Structure 1
């Protein structure tokens, strides 16, 4: 269907009756009477906090090579904290990223290794934490270049082809869904969603926003929604991630206004824990785990969110606090751990 046939900010979606899978053991989409699905927290900053190497060009991919036991432990702790979805450590395992370290030929192997670690952690934790048995593994698909440099995003078929290779590998390795995350431009988001479609698993799309209500790359949420519709692409969930918590409320309102009242995808957010301070620069932890959890829980109630979590700077403690707030409300007590 030509793009001109779509009214502004309105698209036709396959109804998201669930956002995980249709097998009997799957977690179903939260209804208004139940808590949202809970994503895990940060991988990169948490791996670094535990001593894993974290520098360019491989960043979090270093841990797959040098510290796999730390990766496995982080996945397991997020599951013990109550996460419903754990995310693979594949933010930097595209061949393009690995090529900068002479490891392009290891892309498939490292991606499969990352998936195996997440699945293995689920099996391990499920033995003592029954909730983990139903947890799902999300295969992370990141921007091909620096996620905070929209100007570096590829604008040709290379983006589609590279994301398609990643999606295929993740699905073949056994993920339950594909999470395209930290996208800052419409064109690469469209390429990634197109590449991830057709593999028989749900596709979630998470984008970075900025304080003027637009995507980090400067485009509007309306442009994103309309472009998905123009390309006849459906996503099972639309999320805002790796964005300052203080501006997420406005962004969610903007996003919601661009979606139809019926048949829209699930909506969610997993902000980072920091903020930019004009006097001291970026603060990794601008709040406490309990305050963060309470604010995210408030957002979930205000906007009717289906999925919530936390991004850079968070730890399993932040996930545990979110679990408490989602299950028991704002009366949840703070945990003194970091």
Structure 2
């Protein structure tokens, strides 16, 4: 495994809202693409200026769940292409090398493996992949709660020839195995799947920082210290999410203890456990990413 640490960006939706971008339900972070794309560019630039090596397209909410079936049918390709172009433009204008990750979301809802519907997800993901592909360096299938979602993303992205990063969300309610996906499937199974599909990275995101170190250890036990598959983490700043949570149904509270310095302390432990990709998810902003750049990679 490489010793070079890659720094990801942080959460997009929260940062858009904090900056006064158009932001409401049900569109969530997609609304800025529709009504204020300059805010999306500003968020990307903020993360680049904070030291991110990778920025992620603002395509997480570009699904019928958020923008509606009719709008997705008529504008989905345009909006996804816009998301890719905005990220590409910021990356290309950076004074340091910045990669663009194409976000592929859980189409049927975050944290809800019980709602996974592969037949429904397939055509939606195909639209996103086709529109994003010209402007992304690799794929980031993120907040996956089950192995089935990951397999589908691997199958659909394979024809593009671009590397795939798989990122899973973990059980974090304290009542279950800290090395389990929200589906109940194990991190070990996720690691085997990453090997099977030829993923370039296996990450864990949108879960509490406290559960990440155990997941890293479980993944590394399967992949081995010399694996070419990177391990990464980008946690959120939320309290535990309920099993029946509705994705982005409201702005969840943010933990007061996860200051940039507090988050960087968690990240240092993840790095020591074997992670070589570090970033942030919901509630983790540019100031946190700057702390990772100066505190963890220094």
Q: Same fold (TM over 0.5)?
A: yes
Structure 1 residue 50: deviation in Å? Answer: 1.4
- Superposed, 1:80-119 pairs within 5 Å as 80-94=49-63, 97-100=66-69, 102-119=71-88
Q: Does 1:165 align with 2:127?
A: yes
- 1:298 corresponds to 2:269: yes
CA distance in 2, matches of 1:193, 1:116: 23
Deviations 1:39-61 (A, max 9, x none): 00110111111122433332110
How far is the alpha carbon of 1:228 from its aligned partner?
5.1
CA distance in 1, matches of 2:157, 2:58: 17
What secondary structure sits across from 1:59 in the alignment? coil
In 2, Cα distance between equivalents of 1:112 and 1:64: 10
Cα distance, 1:228–1:248 mapped onto 2, change above 3 Å: closer
Counterpart residue number, 1:145: 108
Q: What SS class does the counterpart of residue 293 from structure 2 fall into?
A: helix
RMSD: 2.3
The superposition leaves residues 92-126 of structure 1 with CA deviations (integer Å, 9 ceiling, x where unpaired) of 113564334644310010011111111222234x2
- Structure 1 position 314 matched with structure 2 position 284: yes
Q: Deviations over 1:173-226 (max 9, x none)?
A: x11111110000111121112111121211101000114220012111233334
**Does structure 1 conserve the Cα–Cα contact (< 8 Å) formed by 2:2 and 2:228?**
no
Q: How many residues align?
A: 284
1:251 deviates by 1.5
- 1:98·1:104 contact (CA, 8 Å) conserved in 2? no
Q: Deviation digits for residues 282-336 of structure 1, max 9, x if unmatched?
A: 5444321112112202211x222221101110111111111001232xxxxxxxx
Pair 228,316 (structure 1): closer, same or farther in 2 beyond 3 Å: closer
- What's the CA shift for 1:62? 0.4
Per the alignment, do residues 100 and 198 of structure 1 end up closer, same or farther by CA in structure 2, a change over 3 Å counting? Answer: closer
3-state SS, counterpart of residue 205 of structure 1: strand
2:45 aligned with 1:76:
yes
Provide Cα deviations, 1:247-293, integer angstroms capped at 9, x if missing partner. Answer: 11111112222324554511110111233499xx9544432111211
CA distance 1:73–1:283, change in 2 (3 Å): closer
In structure 2, the residue matched to 1:194 is 155
Instruction: Report if aligned partners of 1:137, 1:176 keep a CA contact under 8 Å in 2.
Output: yes
Q: Which has the larger radius of gyration?
A: 1
Q: Which blocks of at least 5 consecutive residues in structure 2 are unaligned? A: 243-251
CA contact (8 A) 1:179 1:204 kept: yes
Q: 1:277 to 1:149 in 2, by over 3 A?
A: closer
Counterpart in the other structure of 1:37: 6
| 8 Å CA contact retained: 2:208, 2:236 | yes
Alpha-carbon distance between aligned partners in 1 of 2:191 and 2:275, rounded to the nearest angstrom = 18
Report deviation, 1:168: 2.2
* Residue 253 (structure 1) aligned with residue 222 (structure 2): no
- Structure 1 residue 152, shift from structure 2 partner: 1.3
Q: Which runs of 5+ in 1 are unaligned?
A: 1-29, 329-338
Structure 1 residue 84 displacement after superposition = 0.2
